[in-house]
Amino acid sequence: MSESIETVKETGMENIYECIYVDGTVRLCTKNLAKGFTVYGERTVNYNGVEYREWNAFRSKLAGAILKGLKENPVKKGSKVLYLGAASGTTPSHISDIVEDEGKVYGVEFSPRVVRELILVAQHRHNLFPILADARFPQSYSSLVEDAEVLYVDIAQPDQTDIAIYNARYFLKEGGHLLLAIKARSIDVTKDPTEVFKTEAEKLKNEGFDVQQVINLNPYDKDHAMVLARFK
């Protein structure tokens, strides 16, 4: 679809771009580290000899958070990222684009069927390392993972915040950042989601995190929030 592209612009965030089409449509995109390969049926665009992949905010909570006002993306070129709940690689693949070959993305996923799909994605991305494990047991993958600048957690479990804190203590560098996707309905279906987000953010504060932003992901993900917190 390269013929319909008007321009590609930098955003204020490293390695994240806006693809602007001739009809005025604007989409987030990343430079494709695995040229010629797509991951989830996303559209690609060739502009000035570079292949970009559209980043769908309805499929990726990090893209949704960016469009909903994330002030700073801690994921940068060269970052080491521990990603819990990597699934079949939709968001991990864009993070892999952003960190480039200098960075690493350790993708923990406990469903063997899903990890098989993640392995196919990783075949074309030398900075993406799939790990079949339960994020509740970080000791089971501690020998495979280096300390990380960013811990990304998207596991939709009732104890997701506790799991995030536990993994941070194992792997997150001092001053590193946590991006925690909170699914309110996995925690308490009876409570107002905003209340759930507050309670989970409070838990992080009590455990030594500086909570920098809580972003409601509506309309991209209903009853979800993305928390950005710094590990002190």
Ligand X SMILES: C[S@@+](CC[C@H](N)C(=O)[O-])C[C@H]1O[C@@H](n2cnc3c(N)ncnc32)[C@H](O)[C@@H]1O
Q: Which residue is nearest to ligand X (CB)?
A: 85
Residue 153 β-bridge partners: 84, 180
Least distance between ligand X and beta carbon 221 (Å): 9
**Coil/strand/helix, residue 212:** strand
Interacting residue with ligand X among 67, 119, 156, 211 (CB under 6 A): 156
Residue type, 35: K
Residue 127 binds ligand X (CB under 6 A) = no
Residue 5 binds ligand X (CB under 6 A) = no
Residue 203 binds ligand X (CB under 6 A) = no
Instruction: At 61, list the tokens.
Output: 């909570």
Sheet with strand 224-231: strands edge to edge: 128-132, 104-109, 80-84, 148-153, 172-183, 224-231, 209-216
101 assigned to a ligand binding site:
no
CA distances from 229 to 78, 99, 169, 226 (A): 20, 19, 14, 10
Least distance between ligand X and beta carbon 132 (Å): 9
Interacting residue with ligand X among 82, 155, 184, 227 (CB under 6 A): 155
Angle at 130 (CA atoms; ends 36, 182), nearest 5 degrees? 100
Site track for ligand X across 48-77, x = CB under 6 A: ------------xx----------------
Residue 87 binds ligand X (CB under 6 A) = yes
Residue whose CB is less far from ligand X, 79 or 90: 90
Residue 110 binds ligand X (CB under 6 A) = yes
CA distances from 130 to 7, 112, 154, 205 (A): 34, 11, 15, 30
Cα 39 from Cα 121, distance rounded (Å): 7
Mark the binding-site residues for S-adenosyl-L-methionine, compressed into ranges. Answer: 90-91, 109-110, 134-135, 154-157
Q: What residues make contact with ligand X under the rule CB under 6 A?
A: 60-61, 84-85, 87, 90-91, 108-111, 114, 134-136, 154-157
Mark the binding-site residues, compressed into ranges. Answer: 90-91, 109-110, 134-135, 154-157
